[in-house]
């Protein structure tokens, strides 16, 4: 089927009245060709800046087909996210332009140079033509995408935790490291989140659910400031606090997700399962961005991410878990959630994202290209799910059928007006995500512990199979999905940062991939580098210097500098979990579509371990944080805004590193070659020393990386980036 026909069929299946919308959009493009040269050029600029799904709705002459569009007093209005590269971090002129157009400004996000606005549909093109506007995206919907968990992930090994029971354990546990969970909320009163002394480890509970934007009111402008110590900031913090709310997670998704990352079973009564999470003493920050139905908007998620970025250094929030996803047709370069994720990474926060639950079509066919936003950003750790088959051994583990597959399909228009997908390798790795037992939220009242929505609707699947009597505040339930796999990785990151606080976000991801275990049959687009291996990740993390992050920030680490800690050598690249030994994958994804290998990745400093640098394809960008300054304001603590420029000419990868993607050849899903070959086979080749050794490294020159990575032809994938949400799945056998 030709690409255009395939695209049209997909749109007809997924969006209401999409065939008519698509035809109308095509008519708009044709009519633009008849404009005067100057107006045609302006229209062309507008075309490139407006997200594809936004343009489709603008061309819709019927009733609004999406929740971010509405007719107000007979005029079509849309709620959108405008990203800018203007010199003013407060975006004063752009905000004024929105108000002059009769619109409203609902949110200001300095961390990503973006505004959340409501404007008349007829005003969007003019706003997009402004020189300070980079992209305009719809305010898309977002949805929630020892214990068995300890045993199957490698947390119960000599270099992680030597022993673990419901009442005690010894070893790394995430102490002192903060994990922020952006979700449906967290039941802070649940015993899973208490420390050894019985004190809650939920350090803050805030809600970003935006009621103003839902009112569709015009002429509203927000001017609040996040300046440290200001009354405006104090009022803002008070307005979002939900610490005293009895119902902090009415849906139930966020509490379960949080328990997988940081849950402890030490206070549970006898008879309940040991559901100890990965980092059972880490601090938890509950940031509610999804409502009682597990749904939200992109602007609320951006607000939550900004709160985390702003408070990260003051509260030692080192990990951000996003078990949610939004549809996105945009490239990672302009997608607002991706931009926010890169800001978080640049500020030193490792962002872990669920890949999504769209690995199969409605007709049961495997679907590639179904990674949601912001999982399609190269800076985040995108996590798929494996089915552990109810055994602690790993030889029978398989990628779940529902786990979203790569490559990424967000894209942009080139100079000729042709859409070019990013086609980045994703997911990065996979973790247990099928029928995992964790905490179940209720109302925080022992007299009326009302069940959460999920437990109420699906009790026969999520609660009854456990065979235990629900006890307040210890109620548990089963959940499945990449939403549950992601926090297993987030908890692992907390352990790694407890053991070595000097790791940077891209180095954390590289360690997780390099030490992963490929499943027996999965390919790179299904499983990334392989299954989470906490034992291997900790062995590699503890062999490296603990001052890497500070040295990178200070600019004192040069390409090729030694990264090993004093007296340390590279650990043996193998692990044993569940009584079975295996070799590590030896693979690291870099540059979006390259597979790297070799000890030099970790024995020598690779400039790509700088979290301010993002490289994918032939594009490399540098994102720097600018902090608030002034009397009484701690130095380099509270981000004010970020700058984003093309990276300067430099070495990206040093000599001695090996390229593994050169071994793959042509990709065929039928012949199972190229990207569709078994990842385990590629791993074995790399372990044996195969691959192209980079004698001179990879260098960025004149803003471009001259070395090509994997070239993914059209027709390999089934999706065009229109993932509707992270999705809800009840598991598989």
Strand order across the beta sheet in which 325-326 lies: 295-297, 141-143, 325-326
For the question of residue 286 being annotated catalytic, the response is no
Nearest to residue 317, comparing CAs of 354, 347, 340, 356?
Answer: 347
Burial class (CB in 10 A: 0-12, 13-18, 19+), 555: exposed
Based on the residue annotation, tell me whether 173 is a catalytic residue of this protein.
no
Look at residue 628 and give its three-state secondary structure.
Answer: coil
Cα(486)–Cα(385) distance, integer angstroms:
8
Which of 137, 373, 483, 725 is labelled catalytic? 483
Alpha carbons 132 and 95: distance in angstroms, whole number = 12
CB 517 within 8 A of CB 582: yes
The maximal CA–CA distance of the chain, rounded, in angstroms, is 78
Within 10 angstroms of residue 102's Cβ, the number of other Cβ atoms is 16
What is the number of residues in the chain? 733
Question: 697-728: string of b/e by CB count within 10 Å (b at 16+)?
Answer: bbebeeeebebebbebeeebbbbbbbbbbbbb
Contacts of 601 (CB under 8 A, 6+ apart): 510, 514, 588, 657
Q: Which of 253, 264, 379, 719 is catalytic?
A: 253
Instruction: Report d(CA 8, CA 369) in Å as an integer.
Output: 16
Specify whether the backbone of 704 is left (phi greater than 0), alpha (psi in -120 to 50) or beta: beta
**Tokens for 104?**
């409203």
Instruction: Characterize the bridge pairing of strands 178-183 and 317-322.
Output: parallel
Q: Is 457 helix (H, G, I), strand (E, B) or coil?
A: helix
The terminus-to-terminus CA distance of the chain in angstroms comes to 34
534-541 helix and 505-514 helix, angle to the nearest 10 degrees: 130
**The dihedral formed by the CA atoms of 24, 25, 31 and 32, expressed in degrees to the nearest 10:** 160
Distance, CA of 452 to chain centre: 25
Residue 165, number of CB atoms within 10 A of its CB: 12
CA distance 301 to 287: 9
* Rounded (5°) CA angle 442-485-407: 135
The string of DSSP letters for 154-200 reads T-SSTTTEEEE-SS-EEE---TT-EEEEEES---TTSGGGB-TTS-B
Place of tokens 């603590």: 637
Paired tokens of 36 = 């005067």
> How far is the C-alpha of 345 from the C-alpha of 380, rounded, in Å?
8
Cβ neighbors of 456 (< 8 A, separation 6 or more) are: none
Buried residues in 635-651 as b, exposed as e (16+ CB within 10 A)? eeebbbbbebeebeeeb
Q: Verify whether residue 256 is a known catalytic residue.
A: no
d(C-alpha 282, C-alpha 161), whole Å: 15
Residue of 53, 183, 191, 300 marked catalytic: 183
Token pair, residue 399, equals 């990628």
Q: Which SS3 state, helix, strand or coil, does residue 91 take?
A: coil
Sheet of 619-627, strands arranged across: 613-616, 619-627, 639-646
> At residue 101, what are phi and psi to the nearest 5 degrees?
-80, 0
Determine if the peptide bond prior to 427 is cis (ω within 30°): yes
Token couple for 253: 């998704």
Catalytic annotation, residues:
183, 253, 483
């Amino acid at each position: 089927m030709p690409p255009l026909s395939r695209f049209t069929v997909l749109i007809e299946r997924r969006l209401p009245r999409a065939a008519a919308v698509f035809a109308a959009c095509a008519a708009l493009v044709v009519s633009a060709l008849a404009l005067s040269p100057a107006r045609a050029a302006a229209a062309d600029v507008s075309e490139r800046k407006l997200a594809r799904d936004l343009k489709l709705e603008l061309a819709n002459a019927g009733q609004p087909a999406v929740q971010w569009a509405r007719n107000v007093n007979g005029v079509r209005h849309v709620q959108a996210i405008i990203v800018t590269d203007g010199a003013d971090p407060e975006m004063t002129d752009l905000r004024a332009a929105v108000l002059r157009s009769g619109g409203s400004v609902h949110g200001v996000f300095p961390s990503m140079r973006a505004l959340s606005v409501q404007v008349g549909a007829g005003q969007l093109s003019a706003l997009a033509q402004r020189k300070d506007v980079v992209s305009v995206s719809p305010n898309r919907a977002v949805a929630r995408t020892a214990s068995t968990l300890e045993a199957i992930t490698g947390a119960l090994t000599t270099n992680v935790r030597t022993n673990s029971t419901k009442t005690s354990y010894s070893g790394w546990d995430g102490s002192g490291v903060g994990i922020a969970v952006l979700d449906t909320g967290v039941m802070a009163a649940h015993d899973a989140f208490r420390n050894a002394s019985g004190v809650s480890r939920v350090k803050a509970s805030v809600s970003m659910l935006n009621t103003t934007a839902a009112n569709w009111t015009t002429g509203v402008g927000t001017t609040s400031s996040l300046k440290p110590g200001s009354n405006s900031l104090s009022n803002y913090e008070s307005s979002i606090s939900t610490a005293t709310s009895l119902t902090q997670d009415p849906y139930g998704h966020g509490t379960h997700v949080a328990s997988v990352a940081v849950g402890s079973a030490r206070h549970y009564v006898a008879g309940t399962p040991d559901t100890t999470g990965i980092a059972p003493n880490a601090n938890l920050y509950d940031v509610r961005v999804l409502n009682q139905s597990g749904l939200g908007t992109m602007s609320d998620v951006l607000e939550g991410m900004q709160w985390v970025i702003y408070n990260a250094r003051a509260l030692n929030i080192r990990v951000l878990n996003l078990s949610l996803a939004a549809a996105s047709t945009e490239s990672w370069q302009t997608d607002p959630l991706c931009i926010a994720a890169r800001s978080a990474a640049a500020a030193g926060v490792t962002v872990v994202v669920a890949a999504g639950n769209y690995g199969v079509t409605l007709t049961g066919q495997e679907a590639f290209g179904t990674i949601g936003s912001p999982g399609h950003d190269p800076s985040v750790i995108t996590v798929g799910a494996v089915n552990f088959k109810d055994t602690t051994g790993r030889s029978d583990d398989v990628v779940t059928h529902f786990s979203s597959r790569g490559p990424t399909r967000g894209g942009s228009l080139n100079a000729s007006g042709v859409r070019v997908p990013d086609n980045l390798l994703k997911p990065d790795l996979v973790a247990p995500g099928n029928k995992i037992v964790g905490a179940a939220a209720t109302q925080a009242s022992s007299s009326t512990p009302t069940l959460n929505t999920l437990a109420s609707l699906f009790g026969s699947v999520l609660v009854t199979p456990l065979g235990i009597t629900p006890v307040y505040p210890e109620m548990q339930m089963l959940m499945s999905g990449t939403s549950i796999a992601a926090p297993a990785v987030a908890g692992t990151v907390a352990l790694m940062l407890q053991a070595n606080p000097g790791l940077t976000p891209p180095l954390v991801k590289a360690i997780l991939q390099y030490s992963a275990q490929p499943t027996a049959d999965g390919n790179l687009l299904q499983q990334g580098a392989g299954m989470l291996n906490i034992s291997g990740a900790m062995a590699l993390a503890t062999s490296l210097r603990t001052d890497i992050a500070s040295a990178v920030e200070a600019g004192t680490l040069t390409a090729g500098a030694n990264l090993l800690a004093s007296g340390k050598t590279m650990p043996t690249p193998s692990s044993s979990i569940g009584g079975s030994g295996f070799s590590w994958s030896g693979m690291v994804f870099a540059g979006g579509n390259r597979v790297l290998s070799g000890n030099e990745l970790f024995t020598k400093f690779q400039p790509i371990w700088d979290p301010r640098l993002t490289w994918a394809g032939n594009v490399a960008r540098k994102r720097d944080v600018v902090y608030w300054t002034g009397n009484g304001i701690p130095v380099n603590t509270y981000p004010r805004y970020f700058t984003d420029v093309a990276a300067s000419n430099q070495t990206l990868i040093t000599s001695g590193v090996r390229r593994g993607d050169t071994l793959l050849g042509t990709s065929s899903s039928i012949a199972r070659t190229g990207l569709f070959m078994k990842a385990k086979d590629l791993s074995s080749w790399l372990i044996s020393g195969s691959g192209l050794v980079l004698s001179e490294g990879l260098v960025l020159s004149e803003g471009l990386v001259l070395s090509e990575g994997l070239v993914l032809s059209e027709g390999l994938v089934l999706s065009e980036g229109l993932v509707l949400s992270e999705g809800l799945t009840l598991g598989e056998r």
